[in-house]
Amino acid sequence: MTGSAPTRPARPVVRDGRDDDADQLIALMAAVFAEYPGCVLDVDAEEPDLRAIDKFYRDYGGRFWVAEHPGDGRIVAMVGGRPLNGGPHWELKKLYVDSRCRGAGIGRLMVGLVEQEAVRQGAPVLELWSDTRFLDGHRLYERLGYVRQPGLRELHDLSNSVEFHYLKRLDLKRLETP
């Protein structure tokens, strides 16, 4: 039997987010929101940080990453992390992955970046809030060791968002060298 071996999709190129990524970040988040009934993206009213993402996260002592498709430079995933209310806990924010790229480990990779940075900065816990509609995200977080906490948070936003709260205790020993 002849034939070529199956080709794996090329791994995305991960880099720090830049303020000039705004249009692509907005497009990615809008596309993900469009998958869920009732989710509305109003950048100016509810997500203005998308317009200057690097500045926003750095001002809070955090960091933001994007994953680009290696063929065309299109942003296919994003995530941020920052100290929560001045620390020491950190918060994972804005994990969005293009629907065509899900299931390839990109979400896990992006969460790992936030976890590594939080550990590097000494955070004992990483927290996140996730809309109750984002079932794929919940499965990912739970596979990665995040534990859903009791109760819900209502945002009273345009999407009528109700969110689950997740926590993960971080292993600060990961930075220690023998």
pLDDT tens by residue, 8-48: 557 899 999 999 999 999 999 999 999 999 999 999 999 99
pLDDT at 177: 45
Q: Which two tokens stand for residue 87?
A: 């620390």
Q: What is the pLDDT of residues 82-98, one digit of tens each?
A: 999 888 999 999 999 99
With respect to residue 7, please indicate whether it lies within any of the assigned structural domains: no
Q: Are 90 and 126 in contact (CB under 8 A)?
A: yes
Residue 147 has pLDDT above 90, yes or no: yes
With respect to residue 156, please indicate whether it lies within any of the assigned structural domains: yes
With respect to residue 8, please indicate whether it lies within any of the assigned structural domains: no
Cα distances from 48 to residues 26, 51, 108, in angstroms, run 10, 6, 26
Query: What total of structural domains would you count in the chain?
Result: 1
Could you report how far apart the first and last alpha carbons of the chain are, in Å?
50
Instruction: Describe the crossing of helices 106-120 and 135-143 by its angle, rounded to 10 degrees.
Output: 50
With respect to residue 6, please indicate whether it lies within any of the assigned structural domains: no
Residue 126 has pLDDT above 80, yes or no: yes
pLDDT at 176: 52
The residues, any chain, with a CB within 8 Å of residue 159's CB and separated by 6 or more, are 33, 38, 39, 40, 131
Domain that residue 37 falls in: 13-175
With respect to residue 5, please indicate whether it lies within any of the assigned structural domains: no
Give me the percent of the chain exceeding a pLDDT of 90. 87
What CATH number did the domain enclosing 25 receive? 3.40.630.30
With respect to residue 1, please indicate whether it lies within any of the assigned structural domains: no
With respect to residue 2, please indicate whether it lies within any of the assigned structural domains: no
Please, what is the average pLDDT of the chain? 92
With respect to residue 114, please indicate whether it lies within any of the assigned structural domains: yes
